[in-house]
Structure 1
Amino acid sequence: MKLSQLPTSDVKPAPLVNMIMGAEIFQALATATRRDIFTLTKNPKTVEQISKSLKSDPKMTRKLLNCLVSMKLLSKNEDKYVNEPIANNFLVKESPFYQGDYIRLENSGYDLWKKFDQALKEGTKPVIMKQKMETKDLEKVVDPTFTLTMANFAMRGGAQRAVETLSKIPEFKRARKMLDLGGGTGIYSIGLALLNQNLKVTLFDIPPTLEISKKFLSRYGVEDRFELNGGNYVQDDLGDGYDVVFASHTFYGYPKEMLLSLFRRIVGANTERFKRMFALKIGNWTCVPKK
């Protein structure tokens, strides 16, 4: 076909280009987070100051900083770089809204995404449930970064919304004893305990995770109202007499029958107030055991 001019398109390629460049943009963010650049740039600093703190190559450091400026994470005034509000809020370690653990977890999975084509052809192998049946195995397969990432997720608004919703339930206001099942850092139950000053919480998770929980309890000053119980909740004793049992992002991969057995144990061992709340407030098969 003979053309008189180059073809043009009314469809703009920008969204596609953004997808193509996404991996490179993310790697710049992941590198900056890993090197904790955003904690350094809470206050304005020059390339030389940042490079000296990082013990990095000044030329490559400047390239990365300029990249972060183009991503609107940093701003540059003359020869100094400083965080934009979004970086101060989500990328500085001391911030309660820190997302660095989430970024690290996503970055650790990049090699797996390269095998997507293979998975498309062969399918994926199911999680071996035997790993979740023994505490010692759980301690091997649970990544602390995942636990911290769940806290990152929660503090983006999920925990605040959950706490606000539960705090409006009349039964919760009268609750005195709560079980946080597979509670991880405990961020949800911490929020609930801050609103109900009479609430005592048992946080149940595997022992290595509870070491992380202790740091969060200390950060919010609620250590004296929490009991930490280490074990495997699908087989170990959970205690009884709870007015509230809370669980979030912890039942992944368990078969339905195992969860139903767990829920029957929970309902059978707790207060009448809890049983009424359980039947009234929870409405799908993953939470309501069959009689």
Structure 2
Amino acid sequence: MDIAGLTDFKPPVSGEVLAEMARCYQKSLLLEQAFRLGIFENLAAGRSVAQLAEQMGARPERLALVLDALVSVGLLEKNGDTYTNTVMTNTFLCLHSKFYQGDLLRLQLAPERRRQWERIGDWLKGETIRQPGSTGEVFNPSFIRAMAQATLSHKGFEATLELVAKHPGFGKAKKLLDLGGGHGLYAIALKRLRPELEATIFDLPHAEEVTQEYARQYGAMVAFYAGDFYVDELPKDQDLILAFDVFYGPPAKTKEVLGRVYRSLRPGGYLFTKHWFLDDTRTQPERAALFALMLALSNPTAHVCTCREMAEMLTEVGLAVEKLIPIGDAASTMIIAWKGEGING
């Protein structure tokens, strides 16, 4: 029987995207709970439901439902009554792996972060739903490791390194400064490409421990310069400065730091700055728009720049914008700027 006449049952557009948003929320909570309960650590070598239930003190029939759900979303594999981690899970969710993302997962799925999103209504009425922490509290070692874990698992990392390494300025550079570099992975990787490069990470003092952990892990000697780029002048005569994902504060403060960057560069030196920049409508890319809201929920002074805003600030402090390059991760854009020859100070 033809159902063509039942057009009044068909909405004008599909609502599947809304249903998928809700499912993604469920999946994220399932991931968070499984990680917190230690399921992935305990299944690195595979176990039966009965074995895992005994260790966890769980009811086997209930645990089986959780494990089957984890299989369905691709986090576990099932063979008979035995459950084991997938390669992805062993790579990113088990402590023994050098690509472990535990700090990142705890940050992204933290209950306090979830509560921020649940209180958007209160925030809209002017309430402060989370007090901004001090720099030492926010940028603690776990946060720095989380940023390193995000970097290593992100396709934008390789694209960024390739972009810098293939730029003519990199081959001639003697000094490189990684501004607010934290974990230092970009400087460490570039130092591996050019061992003679004098690579320095500039960040808050407590970041040095994590920086040197990664330097030792990847076999590169990098220097650490302790300071606060909102207050302190930067080391002078730099050929290259990297400023990746650090300028999310008030534009006036960002411009002050860019002035310090200008003074730090030698004539002919380059700044590479990569961020989640918004377009002029401030609605795209999606990840940048969501990120801008997330920052604002906890910090009223936070600001995600548009590419145009950043380019204008660079020009105003005396740097010439060479080009803007999308990184290819559907969110980040690299802006390359340089300090003209014969310009000092």
Q: Same fold by TM (over 0.5)?
A: yes
Alpha-carbon distance in 1 for matches of 2:98, 2:10: 46
Give the superposition deviation at 1:240.
1.5
Within the candidate set 111, 117, 128, 2:115 is matched to: 111
Alpha-carbon distance in 2 for matches of 1:278, 1:72: 41
Question: Structure 2 vs 1, CA of residues 171 and 12 (structure 1 numbering), >3 Å: closer, same or farther?
Answer: closer
Within the candidate set 253, 257, 260, 1:262 is matched to: 257
Tell me what 2:298 maps to: none
CA contact (8 A) 1:183 1:204 kept: yes
Alpha-carbon distance in 2 for matches of 1:90, 1:63: 23
CA contact (8 A) 1:263 1:289 kept: no
Within the candidate set 16, 19, 22, 1:20 is matched to: 22
Q: Render the CA deviation track for 1:106-141: whole Å, top value 9, x for unaligned.
A: 22211111101222343778998xx8xxxxx42134
Give the superposition deviation at 1:231.
2.1
CA contact (8 A) 2:262 2:317 kept: no
Tell me what 1:154 maps to: 151
SS at match of 1:284: helix
CA contact (8 A) 1:127 1:253 kept: no
Alignment of 1:100-249 (within 5 A): 100-108=102-110, 109-122=113-126, 137-155=134-152, 156-222=154-220, 225-249=221-245
Give the superposition deviation at 1:12.
6.5
Within the candidate set 75, 99, 102, 2:101 is matched to: 99
Give the superposition deviation at 1:160.
1.1
SS at match of 2:265: coil
Q: What residue identity is the alignment partner of 2:234?
A: L
CA contact (8 A) 1:47 1:58 kept: no
Give the superposition deviation at 1:241.
2.2
CA contact (8 A) 1:148 1:185 kept: yes
- Percent same amino acid among aligned pairs? 29
Question: Which stretch of the first structure deviates more once superposed, 106-115 or 13-22?
Answer: 13-22
Within the candidate set 55, 59, 71, 1:69 is matched to: 71
Alpha-carbon distance in 1 for matches of 2:135, 2:65: 42
Alpha-carbon distance in 2 for matches of 1:92, 1:126: 31
Give the superposition deviation at 1:143.
4.2
Tell me what 1:134 maps to: none
Alpha-carbon distance in 1 for matches of 2:312, 2:38: 43
Tell me what 2:32 maps to: 30
Q: What residue identity is the alignment partner of 2:77?
A: S
How many residue pairs end up in the alignment? 272
Tell me what 1:252 maps to: 248
CA contact (8 A) 2:176 2:198 kept: yes
Q: What residue identity is the alignment partner of 1:210?
A: E
CA contact (8 A) 1:182 1:204 kept: yes
Greater percentage in helix: 1
Alpha-carbon distance in 2 for matches of 1:169, 1:271: 17
SS at match of 2:312: coil
Give the superposition deviation at 1:179.
0.9
Question: Which stretch of the first structure deviates more once superposed, 73-82 or 56-65?
Answer: 56-65
SS at match of 1:243: strand
TM-score by length of 2: 0.68
The unaligned stretches of length 5 or more in structure 1 are: 132-136
CA RMSD of aligned residues (A): 3.2
Tell me what 1:88 maps to: 90
Alpha-carbon distance in 2 for matches of 1:188, 1:278: 14
Q: What residue identity is the alignment partner of 1:92?
A: C
Q: Render the CA deviation track for 1:205-235: whole Å, top value 9, x for unaligned.
A: 112222222221221121xx21122221122
Q: Render the CA deviation track for 1:64-100: whole Å, top value 9, x for unaligned.
A: 2222112121111011111223323432334444433
CA contact (8 A) 1:159 1:187 kept: no
SS at match of 2:258: helix
Question: Structure 2 vs 1, CA of residues 238 and 56 (structure 1 numbering), >3 Å: closer, same or farther?
Answer: farther
CA contact (8 A) 2:45 2:84 kept: yes
